[in-house]
Amino acid sequence: MKNMPTLLAPAGSMRPFLTALRFGADAVYCGAKQYGLRAQANNFNEAQLAEAVRLAHAAGAKVNLTLNIFAFDGDLPGMISMAKMAHEIGVDAAIVSDPGAIARIAREVPGLDIHVSTQANVTNSETARVYRALGAKCVVLAREMTFDQIEAMVREVGGEMELETFIHGAVCMSHSGRCMLSSFLNGRSANRGACSQPCRWTYTLTERTRPDEPMPIEEDARGTAILSSRDMCMMEHLPRLMNSGVGSFKIEGRMKNELYIGTVVGAYRRAMDAYAADPKAYLENEALRRQLRAELDKISHRVYDTGFYFGQPQVCGEAVGTQQEAEYMGYVADVSGGEALVEMKNRFFVGDALETVTPKGSEKLIVEDIVLDATGEHVGVVNVPNTLVRIPCGDKLEKGDMLRGPVRNRA
């Protein structure tokens, strides 16, 4: 195996950011209040970004800031000011898609590393060299590239700059995210951070002479819904990724909550570390590999496939539709004296068997008691989300861990 790749995690706000660090991310990418492609995330103001950088550096991790909109002339001065601010507070790199913005940031903020966004659609080594000449240190490859193409590109330019590739998460229905559908339908540009995700909407088909007889377009075992892509999952192909020479593995999900981030980052972190420590033992340990892959089914996701790594996407499993095998039950705000202070997310009862979600993995936790933190009252269930409760946990939980449980029928 070549050098250990970086595990790069997303964060749309501070709690997912802290979760990414806690669960083993080597770097976290996030957005400021402007100029990124996730305008609907909470994102970070200057003070929050400075605190995130401080915490990441204290943990030995890096912070990358997204400045990857398709910029107009009026955007460039503000993008440069944002890049200067980011550099001053210690941000490690800016993720940029616009060639003009890349050139100006490299010229006017020379100390800030530049990573070329996947929005730039880099699919060959000559394009990568063009961006390197502009000042880029890393290229996030287009998601449409196959393993063979990626490995060939590593051989060609891997010694000149770092290459990064997505390994998990949602995939846009358009080439590397260059989609105009949202702009066309409701004036919200996906290329400027305001995508309303119309590719995920439910559509009907109408025949022109029968306008009052709409026909639903449904998903079945032979394919997905019209327009909507599946989610990428490359856990089962981690060994080839680890030996590909790619320098950074990127997880998609700046709109996701901390349970999603912790679950995905934790699973890939444990897999990467186990393979790096002993590749042969990892390959022979089918139980571990199945366990880590199963973790990724616990979170809400669309059907998994392998993206374009093997050419046409290969579906992982037989199920269809959006699915999840577990529900977010609570975030551990603190632990003291064998009790966890839990911010409840979904209803659970005394006697329920929940699962812990920790950087080391998960184990069963029986809810033996529920105490309202505000009043000290012992209750059998709490129905109001975000209520703070205390539950016995022994030594199974620490601050920043989470709880999950079976998905309940809310009908």
pLDDT confidence of 223, banded at 50, 70, 90? very low
pLDDT at site 208: 81
- Highest-confidence range of 37-46, 72-81, 180-189, 306-315, by mean pLDDT? 72-81
Residues in the chain: 411
Instruction: Give me the mean pLDDT over the 112-129 stretch.
Output: 95
Q: Are 177 and 186 in contact (CB under 8 A)?
A: no
Distance from the Cα of residue 280 to its chain's centroid = 29
What's the farthest any 2 CA atoms get from each other in the chain? 71
pLDDT confidence of 196, banded at 50, 70, 90? low
- Smallest Cα–Cα separation from 99: which of 66, 136, 124? 136
Q: 37-51, pLDDT tens digit by residue?
A: 555 656 899 999 999
Q: 248-305, pLDDT tens digit by residue?
A: 999 999 989 999 999 999 999 999 999 999 999 999 999 999 999 999 999 988 889 9
- The residues with which 42 forms a beta bridge, in sequence order, are none
- Smallest Cα–Cα separation from 132: which of 152, 159, 161? 161
Asked if pLDDT for residue 400 goes beyond 80, the answer is yes
pLDDT confidence of 171, banded at 50, 70, 90? confident
Asked if pLDDT for residue 192 goes beyond 60, the answer is no
Asked if pLDDT for residue 162 goes beyond 70, the answer is yes
Asked if pLDDT for residue 403 goes beyond 80, the answer is yes
Asked if pLDDT for residue 201 goes beyond 80, the answer is no
For all residues of the chain together, what is the average pLDDT?
89
Asked if pLDDT for residue 246 goes beyond 90, the answer is yes
CA distance 17 to 11: 5
Q: Are 182 and 197 in contact (CB under 8 A)?
A: yes
Instruction: Give me the mean pLDDT over the 195-205 stretch.
Output: 66
Q: 11-34, pLDDT tens digit by residue?
A: 999 999 999 999 999 999 999 887
Q: Are 160 and 129 in contact (CB under 8 A)?
A: yes
CA distances from 115 to 75, 97, 123, 213, 344 (A): 19, 8, 15, 50, 38
pLDDT at site 185: 59
Percent of the chain residues past pLDDT 90, beyond the cut = 72
pTM: 0.88
- Smallest Cα–Cα separation from 256: which of 13, 6, 7? 13
Burial of 392 (0-12, 13-18, 19+ CB in 10 A): middle
CA distances from 92 to 15, 28, 52, 71, 283 (A): 20, 10, 12, 22, 34
- The residues with which 116 forms a beta bridge, in sequence order, are 96, 139
CA distances from 249 to 25, 220, 305 (A): 10, 31, 17
CA distance 350 to 42: 34
Q: Are 42 and 30 in contact (CB under 8 A)?
A: no
Domains of the chain: 6-175+229-305 (3.20.20.70), 327-405 (2.40.30.10)
pLDDT at site 222: 44
pLDDT at site 224: 43
CA distances from 396 to 110, 126, 140, 172, 334 (A): 47, 51, 38, 38, 13
CA distance 191 to 295: 32
pLDDT confidence of 210, banded at 50, 70, 90? confident
Instruction: Give me the mean pLDDT over the 367-383 stretch.
Output: 96
Instruction: Give me the mean pLDDT over the 135-158 stretch.
Output: 96
pLDDT confidence of 411, banded at 50, 70, 90? very low
- Smallest Cα–Cα separation from 277: which of 293, 261, 288, 291? 288
Asked if pLDDT for residue 126 goes beyond 80, the answer is yes
pLDDT at site 227: 62
- How would you classify the pairing of strands 339-344 and 62-66? unpaired
CA distances from 302 to 8, 10, 171 (A): 21, 18, 10
